[in-house]
Chain A
Amino acid sequence: MRLYFNRIARSASATLEGLAVTLSWVFRRPCTVQWPDKIDKPLEETLPERFRGILEVEVRVCTGCQACERTCPIGCILVRTERNAQTKERFITGFAIDAAKCMYCGLCVEACPTGAIRHTTQFAGATTDLGRLVLRYVPEGTRVVPYKPSAEPPAGLAPRGSLAAAHLRQCFPDTKEGAR
């Protein structure tokens, strides 16, 4: 009999306690923020510096050593080089990263001697066609002279994230965000 009453008492006090907790939440600041229109600066700038987002390649500093292609466990990086038989010159004719297959593990960034390939804080890669997510950092038909580590880096290198953002716009050219 006593168990009957103290079970009632316990459930009453526990429910009251629960109601007190939920009521106290009504006076607290909600932790969610309205994205994308009620945040002060775009999310890409607020992410930490080490954020491993979509990959970006500054081709002018790339030596064409294909270290990144070898270390990538999934094989989503393709570096095509051409060797001109007579003049013994080597050119980088293609640098493609399949951002859809990439798992953003960062092994390629660690393997790169000159830091040409790097993560950016870009992440908005939503697109309707996976083919668009293949980011080609060396346009077709152009040939880039591989960078010699001994020479000093060329001036005016692209800031981190700008190249990736440009390429991502190609992912959804027809929507409003694309135009932004």
Chain B
Amino acid sequence: MWELVRTVAGQGPVPWYYGAAAALLSAGVLLGFASAFAGLASFVERRIAARMMSRVGPNRVGPQGLFQFMADGIKLITKEDLFPEGHDPILFRIAPYFVFAGMLGTFVALPFSARLIAADLNVGVLYVVAITSLVVVGIILGGWSSNSKWALFGGLRSAAQIVSYEIPVGMAILCVVLLTGGLSTQSIIAAQGGMPWNWFACHSPFAAMAFVVYLIAALAEGNRTPFDLPEAESELVAGYCTEYSGFRFVVFFFAEWANLWIMSAIATVCFLGGWRIPLVSVAETYAHGYWVALGCLVFAGKTLALVFVVIQVRWTLPRLRLDQMMAVCWKYLIPIAFVAVLGTMTWMVLLPWDSALGKALRGVVFLATLGLLGHLARRTVATYRADAAHYSRMAGQSLWYAPWRLP
């Protein structure tokens, strides 16, 4: 965005209103993208979840249900704005906006492509990790100020969860920062190679561990199953947002689905080589517009793949209990994160990035992950085939139903 200002204002001191205008413009663009993504993500998640449960999912509003999220939004906005009796007037109203600010703030440092970034802060990743903890403040305030026991339980659970999962997230990102030497998100991406085995995820077994630790901890940060204790429907009715209705409820859920993008975007930036296009150097990507566009597509592709995995996890695993969730964090994730950091450090010393052995081992780690994905694919096909024959005999029509075929 700063280059934009430079090109418009030319060299020399820039009057303050140029910067302000540019900031407002990028804030608008980011808010537009965040709301569009949040709405579409909620619709796509419900369709994917439905398909995993052999149902259809929303397909009434608009072509194949695309405008479902608008219908939900309008319904919620027009709903009466209820205030529980004995609620705390100020905190109850401002709680959702903490969560919203925390969520929208992280978009600033997240790149979309080589030059498409709101502000390439040189403390990028540190800023991102810091601002996501603002979400906790909003949830606790929401939970406490609704003057309802269920909301209080939900709020306190999320306090315990998000705060304690900050540490594994921080440690995992620390490994990546070690490898790049800088905190800026663009520099992290620049330090990774285009081909998959040059990504930081396959840098070494320890970086792979850091990637897995980050994924699990990010699930907890975003209150996604198996860590969705704060709004556990079956125990706490709706957790911290039990008493919310109308537009404030929209803001809470807006933040939850936008968080999907943030989690996956940070993972893509740090571990999956962001917008790096294979066989194209960083300088070339910066130089030509079409590489920037392709970079944007590559970045979105990787992020959406991770979003699909997060959605699938939500509809597969049950929910952890409060003490088990804490145990997972303190007894399992944090020790592994420490080992990952130490391992990455020793790995960098012994096998520097461009040494032949380093490259070879990166290939080995990459093949290991491919093997894992192959096993998953084989198990999926085996599960499908176990039922195909019987189903067609029972129902008289074939079980195969292409995922892209819309009912």
Contact = CB atoms under 8 A, between A and B. Distances in A.
A151 interface: no
A8 B332 contact: yes
Given A16-B379, A17-B379, A19-B312, A26 B55 contact: no
B379 A32 contact: no
B332 A26 contact: no
A32 B384 contact: no
A79 B399 CA distance: 52
B312 A23 contact: yes
Contact of A30 (B51, B372, B400): B51
A22 to B, nearest CB: 5
Contact of A21 (B55, B383, B400): B383
Contacts of A20: 376, 379-380, 382-383
Given A16-B375, A22-B316, A27 B55 contact: no
A19 to B, nearest CB: 6
B383 A34 contact: no
B360 to A, nearest CB: 26
Nearest to A29: B401
A22 B52 contact: yes
Contacts of B51: 25-26, 30
Contacts of A18: 316-317
B368 interface: no
A18 B315 CA distance: 10
Label chain A's interface by main secondary structure: helix
A180 interface: no
A26 to B, nearest CB: 5
Contacts of A30: 50-51, 54-56, 401, 407
A179 interface: no
A33 to B, nearest CB: 8
A31 interface: yes
B397 interface: yes
A161 B55 CA distance: 31
A15 B399 contact: no
Label chain B's interface by main secondary structure: helix
Contacts of B56: 30, 32, 34
Using C-beta atoms within 8 Å of the partner chain, give the interface range for chain B: 35 or more
B219 to A, nearest CB: 11
B381 A22 contact: no
Interface residues of A, number: 21
Nearest to B402: A27
A176 B84 CA distance: 40
B403 interface: yes
Given A15-B316, A19-B312, A22-B316, A27 B379 contact: no
A173 to B, nearest CB: 26
B401 A21 contact: no
A132 to B, nearest CB: 28
B383 A15 contact: no
B57 to A, nearest CB: 9
Given A28-B384, A30-B56, A31-B55, A16 B400 contact: no
B215 to A, nearest CB: 11
Contacts of B397: 29
Contacts of A24: 380-381, 383-384
Nearest to B378: A20
Nearest to A38: B407
Given A15-B317, A16-B379, A19-B376, A26 B400 contact: no
A6 B43 CA distance: 38
Contacts of B395: 29
Contacts of B55: 30-32
A21 B53 CA distance: 11
Query: Which of B315, B397, B398, B407 lies at the interface centre, i.e. has the most chain A CB atoms within 10 A of its CB?
Result: B407
Interface string B300-327: 0000000000001101110000000000
B378 to A, nearest CB: 8
Contacts of B387: 28
Contacts of A16: 372, 375-376, 379
Interface in A44-59: none
Contacts of A8: 332
A29 B405 CA distance: 10
A23 B380 contact: yes
Nearest to B384: A24
B384 A22 contact: no
Given A28-B384, A28-B401, A23 B376 contact: yes
Contacts of A27: 380, 384, 400-403
A25 B53 contact: yes
Closest 10 CB pairs of A and B: A20-B379, A29-B401, A24-B383, A24-B384, A18-B316, A32-B55, A23-B380, A24-B380, A22-B316, A20-B380
Given A19-B376, A29-B399, 4 more contacts: A16-B372, A26-B51, A28-B54, A28-B387
Interface of B: 48, 50-56, 59, 312-313, 315-317, 332, 372, 375-376, 379-384, 387, 391, 395, 397-403, 407
14 contacts: A8-B332, A15-B317, A16-B372, A16-B376, A18-B316, A23-B376, A25-B52, A26-B48, A26-B403, A28-B54, A28-B400, A29-B400, A32-B56, A34-B407
